Amino acid sequence: MIGGHGLRLSYGETTVLSDITLQLQAGSLHALIGANGSGKSTLLRCLAGLHAASAGTLLGAAALTLHERRRQLAMLPQSLPQAPALSVEQLALLGADAPQRWSASKQARQRAHEALELLDLLPLKNRLCQQLSGGEYRRACLAACFAQGSPWLLLDEPCAGLDLPHCAELMAGLKAWLGVDPRRGALVVMHDLNLAAQWADRCLLLGEQSLLANDETDSVLAGDALEHAFGGALQRFRHPQADHLVLLGVSP
């Protein structure tokens, strides 16, 4: 489990979010949505232990010490570090983090291999990260998160910079990763509401410094709180084949 009770998140004297209470259970892909500036990345960083709450209590994995927390959650930030002089496979092994006498353990290598396979990166495993496109490097960093072996993933815009086919491939890999073990869970910041509609099991909607909704995806995306959060009317209709909601902004 991961969450918090009565959280207030601030930058100096500026409050970003207040009285946030959430308790996320494993087994689901939770999409964290909201307009620009609503505090999505700040909340994600707080739950990862990277931004201290000015009030409230962290719960579950978020409340653990740094060493214990690493065993329970992995985070992919929105702004990635500069690509290292490592191969894709070496980056995944670095995420697996099980060195033994100057070489990774069998278990770490297995986790790294499975992570690369889930994200269709095995053909690129020997390529240097510095030689990857921006989208390929983002997928490689996600593979390192998979390989870490932690049951929870906190991902900030993992599909940023990806074209539609690779975006679908990444999300399918994430869902496959979740399906391997019911103890796994993911909280994913998403700007694309249609991405959330297609892939997320539940949605958390931020707006007006608060958590406006936390429910099944269809319920949140069909509710009035969504238009309130985004400050305008939205067009909503059902996908003719998949039956999930499709959302469009109103044309000017």
Can you give the residue ranges of every domain in the chain? 2-249
Contact 174, 29 (CB under 8 A): yes
d(CA 101, CA 89): 19
Pairing of strands 55-60, 99-100: unpaired
d(CA 231, CA 35): 9
In Å, the largest CA–CA distance within the chain is 63
Average pLDDT over the chain reads 93
* Total count of residues recorded for the chain: 252
Contact 120, 113 (CB under 8 A): no
d(CA 103, CA 137): 23
Pick the CATH number of 2-249 from 1.20.140.10, 3.30.70.100, 3.30.420.40, 3.40.50.300: 3.40.50.300
Contact 22, 187 (CB under 8 A): no
Q: What is the pLDDT of residues 91-122, one digit of tens each?
A: 999 999 755 556 788 889 999 999 999 999 99
Whether the predicted pLDDT of 252 surpasses 70: no
Q: What is the pLDDT of residues 170-218, one digit of tens each?
A: 999 999 999 999 999 999 999 999 999 999 999 999 999 999 999 999 9
80 contacts: CB under 8 Å, gap ≥ 6: 137, 138, 141
Q: What is the pLDDT of residues 38-69, one digit of tens each?
A: 999 999 999 999 999 999 999 998 889 888 89
Pairing of strands 73-76, 55-60: unpaired
